[in-house]
Every structure is written in C-alpha cells, then in structure tokens.
C-alpha cells in the first residue's frame, strides 16, 4: 500500500489568518494520524506565512507516524531540519516568495550542491528525497546525488487528467520504471486529489508515498477530515 502523508500547511494558513491558535495545528496533526494518516508533511518557507519554524519544532513531539519536512535547503532550513531530525527531508527548489512549488530540481546542474546537502542529512540519519519533474535525465541525475528517494512533481499529470487526457501519466510511468531500475524510492505530490489519485497510483509502479495538502484540506471542508483521509487510504490500497 502507498502511504498517505498529509501536508498541513493550509491548516497553518487558516490559523495565521486570524491570529491565536484556532485551528490548533498540533491537534489537527494528532487527529490526522488518529484517523489513519500515515505521515505528516510540512513545508516551512522563509517568510513563515503558514508553517512557522517553531511549528516544526513543536510537531516533533506530536508526529508518531512519519515526519516529512519539505523546503529549499538554504542555511536556515538546513539548521531547522538538523535540529528537528524528521524521518524524511524533501528538497524543493522554491524561489523566495513563491506561492507554491512550480518545478523540480535540475539535478544535473545542481548535482554537487545537492550531493553535499544530502550527505549532511544522511549523516544525521534523515532519509532524503528530491523533488523532480518526470524527465529521465533528471531521474538519472538524482541517482548520482546519492538521494534515497525522488518525489515526482505531479502538477502536469493532474492538469492533463482534469482535461480528460489520460496519456499525461505516461512520462510519470516511464520515470517510475527508471527509478525502480536505479533503486530509488518513489514519492509523489502536488495537485493530487480524490479525483485522480487512484489512477495515478495504478500507473506508478513502486509508489511508496504521496504527500497531499491543498486538495485534501479543501475536500475535507465538504466531506470531513476523518472521512477524507480514509477515502484517500481506500483509493491507495
């Protein structure tokens, strides 16, 4: 079964919009795990507009499943990850001020830098994953960095699927087959939803984990958080 890690950035966004501590981020994280979620993902950004660095520290005591911290490995982020020591760190090439992630790493151009960062995290017992587009050369480049896993950036698939174009999955299937050959673990995320997750899962051999935030939290407004988490789990079986 593919694991479901729930990104709780949107919960922090809602909390920060009003000030105070409603909704309680830590309680939501605990509840998601109680409902069956198999991991908690956060993506702190330098301006702390949703997840704050202190949230990352506080969640360490709450997450009993898998703790995944995403972000651009700049100095402050690296220091935070080494302090929190999550189960997994996902390296994402976000530009400062970006609304959301918009591209994977150029693992060839940034190979030396990524290798250095990955080695530091691995020395501290933290599993590493690199956010990549479904481009075979980028998968091969990821392997050369020594990363444990890749995370396929799925925005293009989700867009094509919404248009009725199921062939949009083909680059992802090819990327997954290559990753399997190279003994790279496969994660995926971005714009995956209840509408497309089952089809994606069925066509990605060796898919270990999906990280879903915006769609899941939005769907939960109508369906309830407990129900939504379990709907995802059923589609991932």
**Helical ranges in 107-166 per DSSP H:** 111-123, 136-145, 155-162
Question: H or E element: which one contains 91?
Answer: strand 88-91
Active-site entry in 43, 66, 151, 219: 43
Residue 159 a catalytic site member: no
Residue 70 a catalytic site member: yes
The DSSP secondary-structure symbol of 210 reads: E
> Which residues, in sequence order, are CB contacts of 226 under 8 Å at separation 6+?
31, 35
CB 187 within 8 A of CB 149: yes
Judging by beta carbons within 10 Å of its beta carbon (0-12, 13-18, 19+), is residue 198 exposed, middle or buried? Answer: middle
**Other beta carbons within 10 Å of 7:** 23
Dihedral angle of Cα 206, 147, 212, 79, to the nearest 10 degrees: 160
What is the rounded CA–CA span in Å between residue 66 and residue 236? 17
Active-site entry in 70, 151, 209, 219: 70
Active-site entry in 50, 151, 190, 209: 190
Residue 181 a catalytic site member: no
Tell me whether strands 3-7 and 88-91 are parallel, antiparallel or unpaired.
unpaired
What is the rounded CA–CA span in Å between residue 71 and residue 66? 16
Question: H or E element: which one contains 215?
Answer: helix 214-223
Residues annotated catalytic, as ranges: 43, 70, 190
């Amino acid at each position: 079964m593919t694991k479901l890690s729930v990104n709780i950035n949107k919960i922090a966004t809602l909390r920060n919009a009003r000030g105070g501590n409603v909704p309680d981020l830590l309680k939501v994280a605990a509840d998601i795990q109680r409902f069956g979620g198999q991991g908690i993902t956060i993506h702190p950004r330098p301006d702390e507009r949703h997840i704050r660095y202190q949230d990352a520290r506080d969640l360490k005591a709450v997450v009993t499943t898998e703790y995944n911290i995403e972000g651009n490995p700049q100095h402050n982020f690296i220091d935070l990850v080494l302090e929190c020591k999550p189960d997994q760190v996902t390296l994402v090439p976000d530009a400062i001020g970006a609304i959301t992630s918009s591209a994977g790493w150029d693992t060839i151009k940034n190979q030396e830098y990524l290798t250095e960062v990955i080695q530091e995290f691995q020395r501290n017992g933290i599993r590493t994953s690199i956010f990549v587009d479904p481009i075979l050369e980028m998968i091969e480049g990821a392997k050369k960095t020594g990363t444990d896993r890749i995370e396929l950036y799925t925005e293009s698939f989700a867009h094509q699927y919404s248009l009725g174009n199921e062939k949009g999955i083909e680059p992802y299937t090819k990327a997954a087959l290559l990753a399997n050959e190279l003994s790279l673990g496969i994660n995926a995320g971005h714009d995956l939803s209840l509408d497309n997750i089952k089809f994606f899962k069925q066509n990605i051999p060796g898919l270990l984990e999906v990280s879903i935030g915006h769609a899941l939290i939005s769907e939960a407004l109508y369906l309830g958080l407990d129900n939504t988490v379990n709907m995802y789990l059923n589609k991932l079986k």
